[in-house]
Amino acid sequence: MAKELTSRGENYSQWYNDLVIKADLAENSAVRGCMVIKPYGYAIWEKIQAELDRMFKETGHVNAYFPLFIPKSFLSKEAEHVEGFAKECAVVTHYRLKQNEDGTGLIVDPDAKLDEELIVRPTSETIIWSTYKNWIQSYRDLPLLINQWANVVRWEMRTRLFLRTTEFLWQEGHTAHATENEAIEEAYKILEIYATFAENFMAVPVLKGLKSVNERFAGAIETLCIEALMQDGKALQAGTSHFLGQNFAKAFDVTFMDKTNKLDYVWATSWGVSTRLMGALIMTHSDDHGLVLPPKLAPFQVVIVPIYKNEEQLTAINAKVYELTSKLKTLGISVKYDNDDNKKPGWKFAEYELKGVPIRLAMGTRDLENKTIEVARRDTLTKETVSIEGIDTYIQQLLNDIQDNIFRKAYDYRTSVTREVNSYDEFKEEIEKGGFLLCHWDGTPETEELIKDETKATIRLIPMDGEKTPGICMVTGKPSAQRVVFARAY
Amino acid sequence: MAKELTSRGENYSQWYNDLVIKADLAENSAVRGCMVIKPYGYAIWEKIQAELDRMFKETGHVNAYFPLFIPKSFLSKEAEHVEGFAKECAVVTHYRLKQNEDGTGLIVDPDAKLDEELIVRPTSETIIWSTYKNWIQSYRDLPLLINQWANVVRWEMRTRLFLRTTEFLWQEGHTAHATENEAIEEAYKILEIYATFAENFMAVPVLKGLKSVNERFAGAIETLCIEALMQDGKALQAGTSHFLGQNFAKAFDVTFMDKTNKLDYVWATSWGVSTRLMGALIMTHSDDHGLVLPPKLAPFQVVIVPIYKNEEQLTAINAKVYELTSKLKTLGISVKYDNDDNKKPGWKFAEYELKGVPIRLAMGTRDLENKTIEVARRDTLTKETVSIEGIDTYIQQLLNDIQDNIFRKAYDYRTSVTREVNSYDEFKEEIEKGGFLLCHWDGTPETEELIKDETKATIRLIPMDGEKTPGICMVTGKPSAQRVVFARAY
């Protein structure tokens, strides 16, 4: 196996770390908890960004940019918000360095202490709502449907590449509305965009629902989320959309004149997905051979490798391949032709398998004679020899098939490990096996806390869709309105 | 005039500030020196990004992402570099806040002091070269042609929207090469990209050249730059490309095995343009009526305003306009149709003039009858009534004309205020009038320093192209190899 990837069975966690490093997606940096996103990983992130950005714009959102720094006092204005973020803030206290007079090097200049410390944004509700105050006077100024692509910092004690890093990249939407209903609708609309993106582009099936009070965003009235399931049976929160009520409007005194000339506080939502999606993408599809990428997000969808013994053969293959790549590009398919003479075909095969390129084509001299080409699928690891005639549309269809297949595979896996559990004893046994457990719960934070303490499982979400049959809580025997989804999570 | 824009003649500096605010491009934030880039301004920046990104990728560059934070010790490793940046660094010293025990609010938790302070990146050479050390062993690993889009922080004492802000957005390319020549070629290649982008997309004519030692990037062997001229006669540095020699490779011990199995230090370049380009764009073309945008970077190129008295008329106009917009979109032209009933046409005209929309179309009932439409150019402020027949290709051509016209206008202005000056007395007089002064200089930092102290003018660049006639320095009378370009600058 290329570059010695640990197998999933052996050690899932190590497999993930190996894969991220060896497929050149990201690596740890010299700064504790901060990652370097390498070009191949960043190319995937760019595709994620481009699609989401298009979806946001199609639904009337625009991009803007707000400051990296937040004055300390702003953070305190919303009580729950500060409670949620104060413990993990990077704090800027000075604005200058100087050479130490004793010649020992660079020190912080004590004369350059800030009057008020600045926080590196962990999220931007406070700085944005302090700005919105000046932008909103009347209902005519509403809604504001603004998104920003940015870096944020949360000082995490235990970090893992993409899944939990001190600095990460994300988009954060911050909208302002004249009515409660409109804001709630916006929060749900965004959740649909996230779910559609996850399923149709990442090929990651997700559950949609509401967070329990314990898992809610600090400062939100309601947090909606999409939740994915990784191959080790652990859940991963892939995106959240918050209905913030009037909390931030009140904290920053943002009022508006409504149509009836009445002054009211503005209604808000915020929502975000981050480079964490990269973790979900990697862990949902990949195997012991390396990355498996959905065609819609692969930096290149097809790689072509020539098999030749001498210069003359390569020249003949090159000519045929250039013809083919130009046809594929016409169909909007991204192709890389790797005719680097310094690497053997076997090395290339392993490399592109590791990097998850959806389709690998190999062309040798016999293929030239027979007018064929070898087509290898990354998802099934199967190979077939196909006529070069009509190969472009064949590849196009195959990319769709791969996209569908990896979604279905992930969907079937999730279905196979999602089950109803009716007693707490059964729960304790089942949770060890991973997967989503559908259980009755009495709706109290205390019971959720108890379950978490005893089993490390949390309520991933309260499902939005599907039937809602009442029952009794598996722990306390108290009434439950509907089953909720438990799992251990990343 | 819409929203009372100060005129350029009255107060150029105030005009600029007014325009940035009133055209909804950006505003100052609650954080000293940091700006909020508003949606309309950000939409222009997105267009700048998209074009540059395409040009970088077409020339073999890829994007990646490196950490926001730089350990303090990294900054010290390149002596000139630290000298250049230490005095304007935002320093993170703590990673947690806590509630003060006396109940007075949030304080920095003294128990959460970092062992080593982190600097918010002012530029990323140090963190990137510390990373490249692990990526480069052999000539086969070279070149690395990497760019990143990021925010950076330089603690500026006097800030101005877009032109000089504490935090700004930019791209920074950092490339690694096996030979000196290849690195120098890369630096020049990027300068060409910057110049092409400035002239062909921003419609801003630029001079290309080398910086003098005084103006060189801290840590560079040679700094290449493009220099633009604003309407007030002041120069604006619009982009720089640095040949870094082996300075950073030596500082971070980045060596490679060359083709002859000899170990050598890696050769480097770095290059960047920032949101400062927005300032150049605004100041080059705009007038007392507001922004003038080049069609290639305008968030929308055409705005259509209906002129009507009643619902029925509007309905008829709507139908005709929908036909037209769909034709324009087919040609790749971006159009906004503003039939908002709450605003009068006059208000809309002023608003889109202020926002620099290249072409404004107005359609009334008489136009419907006559099969005409009113076409107003933002650059010349001229209006004409044109047949609706073939209007789509007419608009397409007009957008090209506008793009060309504003470039030519800026070019002619620059030519008119660029002149040779032969004595220091003449120089002192001429510099007050603004523009580029071509003068002989003895090549010493001392003479440049003296001129700067006495006249506030600096050497903007040593021209790369054109004839290089020797002469004698206007200040010292010592020999000069060629004329250099002096100006007062932003």
Residue at token pair 């809602």: A468
Query: How long is chain B?
Result: 490
Distance (Å, rounded) from C-alpha A192 to C-alpha A196?
6
pLDDT in tens, A204-252: 999 999 999 999 999 999 999 999 999 999 999 999 999 999 999 999 9
Q: For A183-193, what is the mean pLDDT?
A: 98
Q: What are φ and ψ of residue A322, in 5° steps?
A: -60, -40
pLDDT for the residue A467: 80
If one compares A100 and B373, the residue with the highest pLDDT of the two is B373
B448 touches chain A (CB under 8 A): no
**Residue among A247, A231, A150 at smallest CA distance from B68:** A150
Q: Closest chain B residue to A53 measured between Cα atoms?
A: B46
Cβ neighbour number for residue B402 with a 10 Å cutoff: 24
**Best residue in B106, B126, B340, B351 to probe A by mutation, most A CBs within 10 Å?**
B106
Q: Closest chain A residue to B73 measured between Cα atoms?
A: A106
A1 touches chain B (CB under 8 A): no
Alpha-carbon distances, residue A389 vs A307, A323, A358, A394 (angstroms): 20, 12, 21, 9
The CA distance from A342 to the nearest CA of chain B, in Å, is 10
B34–A71 CB contact, under 8 Å: no
pLDDT for the residue A3: 60
Read off the tokens for A251: 């904290």
> Lowest mean pLDDT: which of A103-107, A340-344, A390-394?
A103-107
Q: Does the structure's ipTM exceed the value 0.90?
A: yes
pLDDT in tens, A125-179: 999 999 999 999 999 999 999 999 999 999 998 999 999 999 999 999 999 999 9
pLDDT for the residue B79: 82
**Best residue in A22, A66, A131, A165 to probe B by mutation, most B CBs within 10 Å?**
A66
**pLDDT string in tens for chain B (490-residue length):** 446 899 999 999 999 999 999 999 999 999 999 999 999 999 999 999 999 999 999 999 999 999 999 999 999 898 888 888 999 999 999 999 999 888 888 999 999 999 999 999 999 999 999 999 999 999 999 999 999 999 999 999 899 999 999 999 999 999 999 999 999 999 999 999 999 999 999 999 999 999 999 999 999 999 999 999 999 999 999 999 999 999 999 999 999 999 999 999 999 999 999 999 999 999 999 999 999 999 999 999 999 999 999 999 999 999 999 999 999 999 999 999 999 999 999 999 999 999 999 999 999 999 999 999 999 999 999 999 999 999 999 999 999 999 999 999 999 999 999 999 999 999 999 999 999 999 999 999 999 999 999 999 999 999 988 788 999 999 999 999 999 999 999 9
pLDDT for the residue A1: 42
Alpha-carbon Rg for chain B, nearest whole angstrom, is: 26
Distance (Å, rounded) from C-alpha A299 to C-alpha A297?
6
pLDDT for the residue A67: 98
In chain B, what residues touch A68 (CB-CB under 8 Å)? 34, 120, 151, 153, 167
User: How remote is the C-alpha of B145 from its chain's centroid?
Assistant: 21
B69–A42 CB contact, under 8 Å: no
Read off the tokens for B222: 């040679």
B83 touches chain A (CB under 8 A): no
Distance (Å, rounded) from C-alpha B311 to C-alpha A471?
57
How many CB contacts within 8 angstroms connect chain A with chain B?
Answer: 189
The yes-or-no verdict on residue A326 having pLDDT over 70 is: yes
If one compares A44 and B342, the residue with the highest pLDDT of the two is A44
pLDDT for the residue A177: 98
Distance (Å, rounded) from C-alpha B377 to C-alpha B398?
9
Q: For A463-477, what is the mean pLDDT?
A: 92
**Residue among B178, B63, B81, B95 at smallest CA distance from B127:** B81
pLDDT for the residue B1: 42
pLDDT for the residue B103: 81
Say if pTM beats, i.e. exceeds, 0.80: yes
**Residue among A444, A443, A437, A433 at smallest CA distance from A423:** A437
Alpha-carbon distances, residue B135 vs A220, B256, B269, B422 (angstroms): 43, 10, 16, 52
pLDDT for the residue A304: 98
Q: Where are the beta strands (DSSP E) in B31-143?
A: 35-37, 62-63, 69-71, 91-94, 97-99, 106-108, 113-120
A381 touches chain B (CB under 8 A): no
User: How remote is the C-alpha of A460 from its chain's centroid?
Assistant: 16
Cβ neighbour number for residue B213 with a 10 Å cutoff: 12
